[in-house]
Structure 1
Amino acid sequence: MKFTKYIQVSVAAIALGCAMTSCEMFGLDYQDPYEYDYEAGIPSNKLGMSTYDFIVSRSDLFSVLADAIEYAEMEDYYRMGDCTYILPTNTAFNSETSTDLCYFQTHQIPDGGVDETTGEPTTYAPSSMRAYPKEQVKEFLLYHIVKGQYTHTNLPASPTWYETYASADTAMVNMYIYKDRNPNTTFNNFDGHYKASIKPRTGNLYSSDGSYVHVIESWLDRPTKEQLNLK
């Protein structure tokens, strides 16, 4: 029993000494102090700027998107509150940095030539959204803006359709929290979508205008009426 007491006293002494000397004897230091944001958590998800300013500030990620916004004259749409922005990076568009599922590769345009074998018009993948009609680009951008604020704290665990700012009754985006070992927001994970289970590169950012921002490295395609079970 005395031997046990000696061990207990020794452990207590080591703990006290560790607290007084920052545990230097074990090569450990106290954790550096940090500023805790009680609303956003650690680290803060607040951008401290509008969604548009965020896009412009990250040309390494959004140069194609920023150019598309300017081309479609939609800067004010990216300064709105109470909505959810889904921002495709350059990888989502550019065939030089992505796979054949990127937007430019899947939306090729005629180059004026004709295939000698098939007789069909030949096409090419552009490098800018300016190669498409302005209204097409505007509708593409509006489809990636969801009405209402949606983030990991209020999305359901089952696929749910949400209204976007794009026109037509099929302009709906499917969002939910996929529950697995690494739960994450999932977009347009429905049968027939060109790519399944799209998850954000960075999610749940909050703009100074009061909207949520999710950054994805893919683009979202609209469902058909059949996929939405519309008559």
Structure 2
Amino acid sequence: MKKIEQAGLWFAFAGFLISVASCNLAGLKMQENADYHPYVLDPHIDKTTWQFIKDRSYNFAAKDTIFKLMRQAIEYSGIDTNLYIKTNCTFILLHNDAIFRTTLVNSVPTITDDCYWGKYLVNGKPGTKWSDYPKEQVKNYLLYLIVQGAYSFNNLTPTNVTATTLQPLNYDPLNPNSVMTLRINNDQNYNIRLNDFSNSVGYINVRTTNILAINGAIQVIDKVLYYQTK
């Protein structure tokens, strides 16, 4: 029995030598020890939210126009752009997809109902430009996307925070208090989730989270956000 065990050990050792030799024959070097230095991306962008929007809306040279349609909404609505340099706020920024998104229906590009122009119809049809909507409507929607208080991974938990927005009280009959809920979704993706409350039909996951401007926190969404219950 002992001879069998010794033979097994010898064959195992011989196999190891062969594998090392194979690496050398193939021109491959043995892996060397190396120190691992973990690195976490810095979420600070060292600019205001307004500058961040401007930098990523009409930057055609760099092909970076993800806030182009939101910038157009800001300009069309006449909202005070100083609100985007207001401190201690959370700014929900609209990726172009949150405003205009299409899918193929019977091989025909069709605007989806999870973007602003698809959800808020004009004479029963999706909008195609901001001027299809009253300026006051667009302005108040943008005001809803500015939350009082800077919320990010630094201070959110799986328990909802109910925060006040800049939208005027009683403007939205479905949300007369003009509030938004924010929380971390405690799963493997660890997303920040907005308006995920009991019986909600409009909650969404934040697309890009935890961008920290010098005047607050930025959360980027790619679907239309609204407050509504079943």
Superposition TM-score, scaled by structure 2 size? 0.70
Give the match for residue 44 of structure 1.
Answer: 42
SS at match of 2:43: coil
Structure 1 counterpart SS, 2:66: helix
What are the within-5 Å matches in structure 2 for residues 84-95 of structure 1? Answer: 84-95=90-101
Amino acid at match of 1:26: M
TM-score by length of 1: 0.70
Q: CA deviation at 1:33?
A: 8.1
Tell me, yes or no, if the aligned pair for 2:201 and 2:228 is still in contact at 8 Å. no
Aligned CA distance change for structure 1 residues 66 and 195 (closer, same or farther; 3 Å): same
Partner of 2:221: 216
- Is it true that 1:170 corresponds to 2:141 in the alignment? no
Task: From 105, 113, 117, give the equivalent of 1:104.
Answer: 117
Q: How many residues align?
A: 182
Map of 1:108-187 to 2, 5 A cutoff? 108-110=121-123, 123-168=124-169, 169-187=176-194
Query: 1:144-169 CA deviation, whole Å, 9 max, x = no partner?
Result: 11001111121132223110011114
Deviation string 1:70-99 (CA, Å, 9 cap, x unpaired) is: 112232111111100111211111143663
Aligned twin of 2:5 = none
Report the alpha carbon displacement of residue 64 of structure 1 after superposing the two structures with TM.
0.8
Q: Is 2:202–2:228's contact at 8 Å kept on the other side of the alignment?
A: no
Q: Which runs of 5+ in 1 are unaligned?
A: 1-23, 37-41, 111-122
- Partners of 2:139 and 2:97 in 1: CA distance: 19
Contact 1:149 1:211 in 2 (8 A): yes
- Which residue type is aligned with residue 148 of structure 1? G
Question: 1:172·1:223 contact (CA, 8 Å) conserved in 2?
Answer: no
**Matched residue of 1:218: which SS?**
coil
For residues 37 and 188 of structure 2, what CA distance do their matches in structure 1 show? Answer: 30
Describe the shift of the 1:49–1:109 C-alpha distance in structure 2 as closer, same or farther (beyond 3 A): same
Contact 1:170/1:222 (<8 A) preserved: no
- Contact kept? 1:85, 1:144, Cα under 8 Å: yes
- 1:43 maps to amino acid: L
Shift, 1:183, TM fit: 1.8
Bigger Cα displacement from structure 2, 140-149 vs 57-66: 57-66
1:171, 1:223 within 8 Å by CA — same for their partners in 2? Answer: no
The answer to which of 156-165 and 134-143 deviates more is 156-165
- Structure 2 residue runs without a partner (length 5+): 1-27, 58-64, 104-110, 170-175
Taking the aligned partners of 2:213 and 2:85, their CA distance within structure 1 comes to 9
How far apart are 1:138 and its partner, in Å?
A: 0.9
Q: Which amino acid aligns with 2:96?
A: N
Structure 2: distance between partners of 1:223 and 1:125: 20
C-alpha change, 1:62 and 1:170, in structure 2 (3 Å) is same
Letter in 2 for 1:157: P
CA drift of 1:131 comes to 1.8
Alpha-carbon distance in structure 1 between the residues aligned to 2:95 and 2:32: 41
Using the alignment, how far apart are the partners of 2:84 and 2:53 within structure 1? 9
Matching residue of 1:26: 30
Relative to 1, partners in 2 of residues 1:223 and 1:100: Cα closer, same or farther, differing over 3 Å?
closer
Equivalent in the alignment of 1:5: none
Q: Percent identity?
A: 30
